[in-house]
Amino acid sequence: MRGIRQALSQSLATKVILSTVLLSLGVVSLSGSALYSRLSDGIRSASLSSSLAESRFTFFDAEYKLVISRNSTVEERKKILADIVVNSTTQVVKEARREIIFLRSSKTAQSSTSYEMSSELIDPRSVPLALRKEVTKSGELKYAYTNIKQKSGIVEKSLVVGKRVSIPSAGLYEMYIVFSLGNQQATLELIKTSLLIAGLVLVLLIALITSLVVRQVVRPVREAARIANQFTEGDFSQRMSVKSEDEMATLARSYNEMAQSIEQQISRLENLSRVQQRFVSDVSHELRTPLTTLRMASEVIYNQRTTFDPVVSRSSELLSAQIERFERLLEDLLEVSRFDAEVAVLEPADFDVVALVKRCIKDFELGDVDTESGIRVISESDSVHIKADIRRVERILRNLLSNALDHADNQEVVVTIVATDTEVGIGVRDFGSGLDESALIRVFDRFWRADPSRARVRGGTGLGLSIALEDARLHNGELDAWGRPGKGAHFVLTLPRVAGDSINARPIKITPEDFHQENFYL
């Protein structure tokens, strides 16, 4: 059963052929049943009409012979009845067998002479009582379909036609003509068998024809699927063959044109990407040398700022801050180029992630960042050890904390740490201006800022969250974002306990527990 389901789900040809066969089987069954019903009704009707016509003639002949036997003796009359039985009985194989029965009517007074007789094969007691009552009440011809038992014990479906006749000096008797329906039943069975065989052969032919047609249609589709798979594997040279001028050939030509266009576009994009990566890498490296010189010169000027004019002193401070920001930008660009070139590698080591979070928070508190609102840490355990690249995890945490402090609007920032046997989750929640849902889909884009006009205390580059996401995915982890205008934002980092393992669940839900959807829209 599983194999059939798999074949149906994976093969269009199998699905079409099976559907066609089932529908054809239903149509053939209905058509065959209707045809058999019409044929059987016609045969029974024709057989009944013929039998009733023969019966009328036989009854008339018997009544005539009985009338002219009015002056005959009992023995002569019995001989006449026997002749009627013998002459009216047929045993021809090709015709329906016919038997005769004479029975005393219930309305006839009992007498010492009985004229009851029947063909040798028929048991007179098998005549239905309901038919006998109808024949006794009426002088008209009556008939019924019933099972007649022969004296040998064989029961056969038969048509029994009866009529009341008068025997001189004996009273009323019932005369029955029994027509065997064996030939009729055999004919109907032959028709049924023929219809069944013809229907099966027709269904098989339909299945064969459908298979041939479907193969012609599905073959180009399979070829297109094969070429598409090779496209995904990086082989852009494959094309569909065109051997005719029909619709499939038009599809193949269109597909080939599309493939060629895609190949050209991919080649251009790959070249552009390589040029961009090389440009970013080269520029970043080339700028490091003059930037180092500028950094050294700015430090000398910055250290002597107290001896300068206040305007010049402030300028030296701005120069030092901007050079520091420029250095961070170069470092971020170099890291981005490593991700693009897929040369970024992990250096896993065992460390305590709770201690790392507290150390990052302490660095922010010791720096020049306004943390009067405070950063609160909530952890189920005093220590959570994981095996990961501590440098990259620390960079993720610093980016998330810096982003939260930038947008906290002097409110508290909450850091939550939850660990399971296989994952660890770190949530950074701020209650500042927040993000709308349209911004959530772009928050990890490079150089994207939620509010470009915001005065940045630490001078962000717009690459922090993008690099944090790449660092998380390099560990086989994930970084999710949530936000609502006026309700703050929530960033959740989920990492495997061992770098490279898969994460099976999120220990921390992305929607904060303090946020209630129903109250937000009131």
Encoding tokens for residue 76?
Answer: 């002569």
User: Distance between CA atoms of 338 and 48, rounded to whole angstroms?
Assistant: 97
**CA-to-CA dists, residue 57 to 33, 43, 64, 163, 192, angstroms:** 36, 21, 11, 12, 33
Q: Which fold would CATH assign to domain 247-340?
A: Helix Hairpins (1.10.287)
Degrees, nearest 5: CA angle 459-462-465: 115
Q: Which fold would CATH assign to domain 349-520?
A: Heat Shock Protein 90 (3.30.565)
pLDDT value of position 6: 62
Q: Maximum CA pair distance of the chain?
A: 169
| Phi and psi, residue 419, nearest 5° | -125, 145
pLDDT value of position 108: 64
Q: Walk along the chain (522 residues) in steps of 10 and give the mean pLDDT of each run.
A: 59 76 88 89 88 89 86 85 82 65 76 76 82 86 86 81 87 88 85 90 88 78 77 74 72 79 79 70 70 81 83 83 77 73 82 92 67 76 92 91 85 92 93 82 76 49 83 91 89 92 90 64 36
Torsion (CA) 254, 259, 264, 266 in degrees, nearest 10: 140
β-partners of residue 102 are 117, 175
pLDDT value of position 521: 38
Grouping H, G, I as helix, E, B as strand and the rest as coil, residue 464 is helix
pLDDT value of position 402: 87
User: Distance between CA atoms of 22 and 26, rounded to whole angstroms?
Assistant: 6
User: Distance between CA atoms of 238 and 256, rounded to whole angstroms?
Assistant: 9
Degrees, nearest 5: CA angle 420-425-429: 145
pTM tops 0.75:
no
Angle of helix 390-407 relative to helix 464-474, nearest 10 degrees, comes to 150
pLDDT value of position 201: 92
| Residue found by looking up tokens 């300028």 in the block | 315
Is the domain spanning 13-187 CATH 3.30.70? The answer is no
Any idea where the domains of the chain sit in the sequence?
13-187, 247-340, 349-520
pLDDT value of position 281: 66
pLDDT value of position 72: 83
